[in-house]
Structures are given as C-alpha cells and as structure tokens.
Amino acid sequence: MKKAVCILSGGMDSTLSSFIAKNSGFELVALHFNYGQRTQDKELQSFREICEFLNISAKYEIDIPFFKTIGVSALTDENIDVPIDGVKPGVPVTYVPFRNGIFLSIATAVAEKEGAEAIYIGVVEEDSSGYPDCRDEFIESMTGSINLGTKDETKLQIITPLVHMTKGQIVVKALELDVPLELTWSCYKNSLKACGVCDSCRLRLKGFEEAGQKDKIPYEDNK
Amino acid sequence: MKKAVCILSGGMDSTLSSFIAKNSGFELVALHFNYGQRTQDKELQSFREICEFLNISAKYEIDIPFFKTIGVSALTDENIDVPIDGVKPGVPVTYVPFRNGIFLSIATAVAEKEGAEAIYIGVVEEDSSGYPDCRDEFIESMTGSINLGTKDETKLQIITPLVHMTKGQIVVKALELDVPLELTWSCYKNSLKACGVCDSCRLRLKGFEEAGQKDKIPYEDNK
C-alpha cells in the first residue's frame, strides 16, 4: 500500500487534508510538530484524537522548540499579542518564519525513511492569513527542491488538496467526509474555549457561516 | 553592515566557508545544529572555539534531536556502524535524510529574523561523500524555494564557496586564510583522536595530502 506523510497540526485544514489522503488510498504516516506555539498542548491533544479516529499507528510527534528561540511571531513569543481585530491584508504578526518550509523539510526526511511517495499539507492560499509559505508557487518550487536533495530513488510529491479552496468549501467538504471537526482546534490562543476573534477563529467561523453550518466547539461569549 | 547566517558544524568545510563569508565583508550569524549525531559534543566544542576565534557574538545552537528518532543513518543510529573501508560511489549509510534541506530551512527562519541577506553553507559536491543534499543543483533550487516561501521583502542568497572545490584546494585555501584547522573536527566517530579511516577522515587526509601539508589534529595509530 502506498504511503503518505500527513502534516497534521490538529486544525480543521490539516485534518481534512489527512482525510482526503486516506480516501485517496494512502496508508497514513501522521506528523505533528510541537514548536513552542501557544496552543501546543491543545494541538497535540487534537492530533492524538484525530489519529485515534483515523486509526493511524505510524505517528511522529516532533519537538522543535527552537521556534521559541527565534521568536518574532505572536504564536511563539508571549510578548507579542495575538491580533483580534480582524484579518488584514499582508503578512500578519502571527507569521512564523518559514514554518512550512521547515515542516516540509522534516516531512521529507520522514518520508524518505518511511518510503512514502507523497506528503500532504493543508495549506490554503487565498482564503487565509496571507502567510507566504502557504502559496501554491512555493509548494511547487519546494517539490522540485526536495526531489533534488534526496536520494535518486526517492520520488516525492507534495499534495495540497485545500490550496485553492475557500473556508466555506473546506467546511462543506469536511462534513461530506464525516470529518469530526469537533475534535479539531484552530484558535491561536491557549484557552479552554476558542476566542472567536483571532484570525484563525474568524476564518474558521467564516467557513461555517459560508457553509450554512454550526461549529460544535465551544466559543467564549457564545460566539 | 550586511549579515550572513553561516551554517557551522565545526568541520573543516563549514569553517572555511565562514571565514570566506567574513572576508567578503559580512557580519556573521553562526548557526550550529545538535542533531543527535555521534560526535555532537565534539562538534559543539569546535563550533564554540571557532566562534570565539572569529569573535562572533550572534550564535544559535539549535537542538533538533528528532534525527535520532528518524535514524536510518550511521551518524544518528548507534546500531549502524560507520564504514571504515574507504569512500565508495553512491549514497553511503552515513547519509542523514535531507539534512541540508532541514538545515537550510531553519537557517532561512534565522536569516529572516536577523534581516540577513545570505546563508553560507560549506557543501562540497564532487570530492565528497556523495550526499544528494550537497549538490549545486539542489542548492540552486532551494534558493528559489526559500525566497518564494518567505516575506516579499526577504531576499536571500545561498552561498556555497566550496561546492566545486577539491579537498586539496580546500586545505590550501584554508591555510591561505589562516583558518585554525586544528580547532576543527571532521571524524564521524566520537573518540578522543580522529579515527583516520571513516569517509570524513579519509577525505580530510586526502585534502592535506593533495595540499602537501600535515594535519595537526591527533589521529589514532599515528595516521
């Protein structure tokens, strides 16, 4: 059975991406990163619950705490506030330098070890926070790079099933595939209930609204 | 003053590469990786001594122990012997999956934080162990990828001053620039003296021989 390494944060997008990989006939190798982000514990919990739901036994939980040393992002530096006043054009302060480049590079090493032929990543280009490492153009270039930098017999494709979807389409597709969205965590803040006002919550709620559905996770202030 | 991130393992090649960066007028940001390799302590000691020699204050010592989890390389898995019977064609068992891809991705994050405009890496293509992530073609592709995956204002070049040099040329150039080669560590084994027979020792010794020079570091059996 052909294998795919699925980068799985435990959020809505990466979870749907992993379900799509499974539906495409891949045996899944799940890859999660603890990178010192505010919501590290929440995301890890979601990751584990989704792996259990999908019956994935090949799991990598990789610690890369150096992102906290690098800082400069509201997600990894507690001194920088997470913006709550709406998604703006441009690269926001929640951008973590070259995060997906690093994730994809590590996924490549895992894929080469596992003999996988694909890496799934749930990046969204247009309907997103505007991170440069979520662009289709970057992913295409990176696919070339990882194939040049690995053994000749290693042939990898990076599959981004969500890259040109809207958040509404993502919710619709997730519900169609019976993805347990109530297990996923999107909020940038580390609280018991989702804040509802950070960019990630706003994008998620927009998706549910566009899909005409109700999000089942608890939000602060009954959002 | 323009800044360069120098990937510096503490070996001969990365040390010369950093000296060349300094001679090219860059302010150096030194980047070292502890990746669970056998010679982690030796390399870290060399890194620190070379940083002191070069008077570098901007230093990153990054722990990425996951390479040990991934394993499959003689450098990170103690159950796989380091070959000592000579450099062979093909990719050897000391190959660490996509190591330079991961190093360059992390270097990109550091460079973006530091506002650097170059990354120096001491890869050697022809006269080397045959690692795919040391090829010029890979580095060129990766340069495109990192610029597509970072902020638009981030413009990075990856500089590989040694990529087409022979080991002999590397030793000659290093002595010309007064590089303290006695501080560097190349051996793949973690012993007090260099083994003289692993691929890395063999390549280093070949370099000294071609240059008509004597290596000042101690070798086992008076090699």
- Tell me how far apart the alpha carbons of residues B199 and B188 are, in angstroms, rounded to a whole number: 8
Assess A175–B contact: CB distance below 8 Å, yes or no.
Answer: no
Lowest mean pLDDT of B42-51, B86-95, B154-163, name the range. B86-95
pLDDT tens digit sequence for B105-129: 999 999 999 999 999 999 999 888 8
Assess B218–A contact: CB distance below 8 Å, yes or no.
Answer: no
Q: Where are the domains of chain A?
A: 3-166
Task: Give contacts of B142 with chain A, Cβ < 8 Å.
Answer: 145, 148-149
Structural element, H or E, at residue A210: helix A199-211
CATH of domain A3-166: 3.40.50.620
Class for domain B3-165, per CATH? alpha beta
Assess B142–A contact: CB distance below 8 Å, yes or no.
Answer: yes
Please, what is the average pLDDT of chain B?
Answer: 95
Secondary structure (DSSP) of B95-113: PPTTHHHHHHHHHHHHHHH
CB A72 within 8 A of CB A97: yes
pLDDT of B223 above 60: no
| Residue A222, pLDDT score | 53
> pTM of this prediction?
0.96
Which whole-number Å values give the CA distances from B2 to A204, B8, B78, B151, in the listed order? 41, 18, 41, 18
Helix (H/G/I), strand (E/B), else coil: A2 = coil
CB A7 within 8 A of CB A121: yes
pLDDT tens digit sequence for B136-188: 999 999 999 999 999 999 999 999 999 999 999 999 999 999 999 999 999 99
Write out the two tokens for B220. Answer: 């086992």
Write out the two tokens for B209. Answer: 């021989």
Which whole-number Å values give the CA distances from A161 to A6, A201, B143, in the listed order? 12, 21, 25
Task: Give contacts of B132 with chain A, Cβ < 8 Å.
Answer: 148-152
Nearest residue of A to residue B35, measured between CA atoms? A64
- Tell me how far apart the alpha carbons of residues B67 and B45 are, in angstroms, rounded to a whole number: 20
Q: A6 — phi, psi (to 5°)?
A: -110, 115
Q: Between chains, do B102 and A106 touch, taking CB under 8 Å as contact?
A: yes
Task: Give contacts of A61 with chain B, Cβ < 8 Å.
Answer: none
